[in-house]
Chain A
Amino acid sequence: MSVLQQPPVVPVPEPAEDEGARRRLLRSLAEGELSALRVVLMLALIWMIFQVQEERFLSSANLTNLILQITSIGLISVGVVLVLLLGEIDLSVGAVSGLCAGVMAVLTVRHGWAPVPAIGAALALGCAIGTFNGFMVVRFGIPSFVVTLAGLLAWQGGLLYVLGSTGTVNLPPGPITDLAGTFYGAAAGWAIVAVAVAFHTLLAVRRQRRRAAAGLPSAGMARVVAGSVLLTATLGAAVMVFGADRGVPLAALILVGFVALFSWLTEDTLFGRHLFATGGSVEAARRAGIKVDNVRIVVFALCSTMAAAGGVMAASRLLAVNQSSGGSDTLLLSIAGPVIAGVSLFGGRGRVWAALLGALVIGSISNGMDLLALTSSVKYMITGAVLLVAVTIDALARRQRNLAGRH
């Protein structure tokens, strides 16, 4: 949006604008609107590197696998983004995803529950655990790091308890396993693309019309068209890749659906505004009359609910829940993804789409290294290095902001 289009507010050169165009571009890549582009470039680089090493990497079969591998982590990451936006952390998401999946599996297999109520019970348990986490943080002022660290241990124990002596519960084929095992044909895929693009374009056009009618600067129809073309190209490419293999996975639709839902929740609603305000400055938010305690409890509840959803998805893909469900690197990857994709650990900055992009980056690294048959030792070290680089970029962007402000 051009600064020159805003009527009563006359632009005055700020010191930040004295920088050269290239510096500005670098800065916006590091922190601003273009941080999503930065992640996409990172993803492209990773894909190129693996494709050069192993030509199967960009095959449609492997890309479909990649998507199925990241849906569970991606769903958990959606909740993690919300908690990170608050400037808090939830270390219990992995354990909660395992426990909730375990409860679902035990209810269906051993107690004869129907699949849908069992999934509902898993999500409700996640919601209850998250509400408890939030309550402990708000009521007693315990750092979320500690509350959820305790949860990490306790809920792992909970999973072992519900699984009992057998240690593994296998899921029979049915609605639960269909979550990860359902694929839609090309026709259905294209129909979904058409609906999504039409919906997006309609909203964008309406927004521009309303802004123009209100006398506010609007980005113009060219930008709307460009956005729709980009969306069509992205979704179209995805449908073609999926179509060449098994079809469009239901799991991918679920992930993208949740990401879009929470994107809307955080960016367009009152709740989202209050979430960002609380993450930016608790004191300022409180004094503005925002019930910051309620915001925090709801966010922790949503986070653990999404962790439960991720656990259900993981169980669906593995066709079982066992003692290591939600363990191992589930927690670390679901936090590392959003951070790599630009969600600040310091609160108040980031977008829900980072959950998807971050999971893609993390998942690609993991998937590629598996294809190259690298050992676990190398995999862990490389994933750790990527995370460190991403967090360093976040810290540098933050320092840059502090230097730019308050001159």
Chain B
Amino acid sequence: MERFVAKGVSKSFGAVEALVDVDFEVDAGEVVALVGDNGAGKSTLIKAISGVQPGDAGEYWFEGEQVEIHTPLDAYRLGIATVYQDLALCDNLDVVANLYLGSELRASGIGGTLRVLDEIAMEQHTLELLGALSVTTLSSVRTEVGSLSGGQRQAVAIARSLIGEPRLVILDEPTAALGISQTAQVLALIERLREQGLAVVVISHNLANVFHVADRIVVLRLGRRAATFDRRTTPQDDVVAAITGASMPRPELLLGPDGTAVSL
């Protein structure tokens, strides 16, 4: 049973068909890279799955059970967490405050919003979480996020998505605009997520990174699912060809949605 399956997702903006009958699936402990040229429909698919911008059509199964995703809250309750490219961090708050933003732990107090923050528990859990993710480059979890490097900010955003204990994490361009060593840190972090049994979807333009971290590579082209590859057996050129539509990929490299080779 796949952890998450989407079937027949379609979305059009006026006359533009952004997504046409796209199937998508990701399993627990698996990293799926979603690649494609600009306008291929990657972001539209992610927005449909995360409930930010529901598709016009499409069915979703979460751990074998059919579910509805209409709002971000629906996705959150199912255990789908999305880290967007802009990270949505508050630069003026420290790492702990950002991790728990909107889901702060509170100690006993006067009730309602006046309840006192439980800084100690939040700081403790933050240290545990970052330790489990092997995030070792922060000098202190009380550092303002605004003073962190790009890779550290990405790590904070990913760690934050884990606070609600999600089972599917979607990362939108996690390595864009990062230097070499910071990219390596983030890729290592993605591997930690897989080790912890999470289903991970990574959108990326950087094929070198995709080949480094992904188990399967799903190519979208012009709003349709053009091809699916097994990272271990596929040359990078074939993925490029599928992205650009230069040629049909070699059939023996393609995988069906069930993970077995397809016959054309």
Measuring CB to CB, which residues of chain A are less than 8 angstroms from any residue of chain B? Answer: 1, 3, 6-12, 14, 16-17, 210-211, 214-216, 265, 268-271, 273-274, 276-277, 279-281, 283-285, 287-290, 347-349, 401, 404-407
Contact of A276 among B93, B140, B142, B150 (CB under 8 A): B93
B113 near A271: Cβ-Cβ < 8 Å: yes
B140 near A6: Cβ-Cβ < 8 Å: yes
Contact of B91 among A1, A280, A290 (CB under 8 A): A280
Min CB distance B155 to A, Å, is 11
Bound-state CA distance A394–B198 (Å) is 44
B117 near A8: Cβ-Cβ < 8 Å: no
Q: Of A7, A10, A281, which is in contact with the most chain B CB atoms at under 10 Å from its CB?
A: A281
- Chain A residues positioned under 8 Å from B113 (CB to CB): 269-271, 274
A3 near B140: Cβ-Cβ < 8 Å: yes
Tell me whether B108 is interfacial, beta carbon within 8 Å.
Answer: no
- Chain A residues positioned under 8 Å from B146 (CB to CB): 401, 405
Bound-state CA distance A271–B113 (Å) is 6
A9 near B138: Cβ-Cβ < 8 Å: yes
A406 near B150: Cβ-Cβ < 8 Å: yes
Contact of B127 among A6, A283, A349 (CB under 8 A): A6
Contact of A284 among B101, B109, B121 (CB under 8 A): B101
Min CB distance B153 to A, Å, is 8
Assuming the contacts A3-B139, A269-B114, A273-B117, asked whether A281 and B88 have C-beta atoms less than 8 A apart, the reply is: yes
B89 near A269: Cβ-Cβ < 8 Å: no
- Chain B residues positioned under 8 Å from A14 (CB to CB): 139, 149
Tell me whether B187 is interfacial, beta carbon within 8 Å.
Answer: no
- Chain A residues positioned under 8 Å from B116 (CB to CB): 268-269
B115 near A211: Cβ-Cβ < 8 Å: no
Measuring CB to CB, which residues of chain B are less than 8 angstroms from any residue of chain A? Answer: 88-93, 97, 101-104, 106, 109, 113-117, 120-121, 123-124, 127-128, 130-131, 135-142, 146-150, 153
- Chain B residues positioned under 8 Å from A9 (CB to CB): 127, 130-131, 135-136, 138-141
- Chain A residues positioned under 8 Å from B147 (CB to CB): 16, 401, 404-405
In the complex, 10 of the A-B residue pairs with CB atoms within 8 angstroms, ordered by the A residue number, are A8-B131, A9-B139, A9-B140, A17-B139, A214-B124, A216-B124, A269-B109, A276-B90, A288-B103, A406-B150
Interface residue SS majority, chain B = loop
Contact of A211 among B92, B120, B130, B135 (CB under 8 A): B120
A288 near B88: Cβ-Cβ < 8 Å: yes
Bound-state CA distance A198–B168 (Å) is 50
Min CB distance B174 to A, Å, is 16
8 A-B pairs with least C-beta separation: A288-B102, A8-B131, A348-B92, A280-B92, A280-B90, A289-B102, A288-B101, A284-B88
- Chain A residues positioned under 8 Å from B123 (CB to CB): 214, 216
- Chain A residues positioned under 8 Å from B121 (CB to CB): 214
- Chain A residues positioned under 8 Å from B90 (CB to CB): 276-277, 280-281, 284-285, 348
- Chain B residues positioned under 8 Å from A285 (CB to CB): 90, 101-102
Bound-state CA distance A274–B130 (Å) is 23
Q: Of B92, B114, B146, which is in contact with the most chain A CB atoms at under 10 Å from its CB?
A: B92
Q: Of A9, A12, A216, A348, which is in contact with the most chain B CB atoms at under 10 Å from its CB?
A: A9
A405 near B91: Cβ-Cβ < 8 Å: yes
Min CB distance A202 to B, Å, is 15
User: Closest B-chain residue to A13, C-beta based?
Assistant: B139
Q: Of A211, A276, A285, A287, which is in contact with the most chain B CB atoms at under 10 Å from its CB?
A: A287
User: Closest A-chain residue to B102, C-beta based?
Assistant: A288
Bound-state CA distance A276–B97 (Å) is 10
Assuming the contacts A214-B124, A280-B92, A283-B88, asked whether A271 and B114 have C-beta atoms less than 8 A apart, the reply is: yes
A6 near B124: Cβ-Cβ < 8 Å: no
User: Closest B-chain residue to A279, C-beta based?
Assistant: B92
- Chain B residues positioned under 8 Å from A215 (CB to CB): 124
Bound-state CA distance A17–B139 (Å) is 11
Given contacts A7-B127, A406-B153, A407-B149, 5 further A-B contacts (CB under 8 A): A273-B93, A277-B97, A290-B102, A401-B146, A406-B149
Bound-state CA distance A308–B105 (Å) is 34
- Chain A residues positioned under 8 Å from B92 (CB to CB): 276, 279-281, 347-349
User: Closest A-chain residue to B97, C-beta based?
Assistant: A273
User: Closest A-chain residue to B133, C-beta based?
Assistant: A8
